[in-house]
Amino acid sequence: MSLTNQVYPVVWQGNCVLLIDQTRLPGEYAVVEISRCDDMALAIKTMIVRGAPAIGVAAAYGMYLGAREIETDSRDEFLTRLEAVAQKLRATRPTAVNLFWAIDRMLKTARQTIGPVEHLRQSLLNMAQTINAEDLQTCRAIGDRGLEVLPSTPAKLRILTHCNAGALATAGYGTALGVVRSAWYNGRLERVYADETRPRLQGTKLTAWECVQEGIPVTVITDGMAAHCMQRGMVDAVVVGADRIAANGDTANKIGTYNVALVAKAHNVPFFVAAPLSTVDFKLSDGREIPIEERDPEEVFQIGDTIICPPGADFYNPAFDVTPANLVTAIITEHGAISPSQLAQFQTQQVV
């Protein structure tokens, strides 16, 4: 797979949205056609589409699909009912801030557009397509900026990543895996170590799938192996994505990321977070304020149709954890690598 033939998980085509069904990978490559807002909300909630930037893009299109279903010529009634559409989409995934950012941007577009209701609908489609295109451009910029701050030695790096922050989690190219891609294209990558990422196995199912499609050398390890690999000197850098970053640099990412950050600190391995500036929630002072989604315990006690735990046990299934800013070497954004302590100065550059 070349740079011009990449994975695009959210695509507007004709009169509907096409989503790669990520719940079926890697066993089956399937595309789901979405033409109703309710179906988009369900696709986000059930993780047919997942990854903070991709969720944001999908939600933007969901807003347009919802607007298309509003039958009124009254501007005031249209805007009132559009807020109800926004509320439905906001309720799908509480942690990924790009979801809320995209919805707010779509609402602002509708409120600021002058003209008949049909003109408002068209402006919403145009904005959703703009958000889509911007995210793809942003991811490629993150990849290039990340390449600039990766360790200069060895000549070819071994990078560990957790969960999936690749093309499947964005409009394309990826954030953390975008950095990996840029390193690969520029001859700086020897191998990727992909944590399996229990309980949904996004590293095993999605990150490894993306790498194999593109010919990037990848080794899947269980979540408990990261410390061993770093102790053996097998990892030169860690690069992960983010679902929400507080103003102080505390970072929410898939459960298990905090473990990796602690291990990286103990072994003096740089730990990078790769995310667009839109993932920073400047309204939150620190990570204690980030809402953590809890998912169905079935994800823990069952793999596929196989129950792996004894009856009578209790289960806890937070989908994310928060890595403190003091464990983050730098946050790689489209504007470059930023120290967590420097985030505040970029607040005015965040598009709303």
Report, as residue numbers or ranges, the catalytic residues.
243
Both tokens of residue 151? 């360790």
- In sequence order, the 6+-apart residues with CB closer than 8 A to the CB of 218 are 191, 192, 193, 194, 207, 208, 211, 212
Whole-angstrom distance, CA of residue 49 vs CA of residue 178: 18
User: Which residues sit opposite 239 in a β-bridge?
Assistant: 272
Nearest Cα residue to 279 out of 176, 180, 201, 194 = 176
Whole-angstrom distance, CA of residue 92 vs CA of residue 200: 18
User: Which residues sit opposite 281 in a β-bridge?
Assistant: 246
Both tokens of residue 173? 């190219």
* Exposed e or buried b per residue across 178-188, where buried means at least 16 C-beta atoms within 10 angstroms of its C-beta: bbbbbbbbeeb
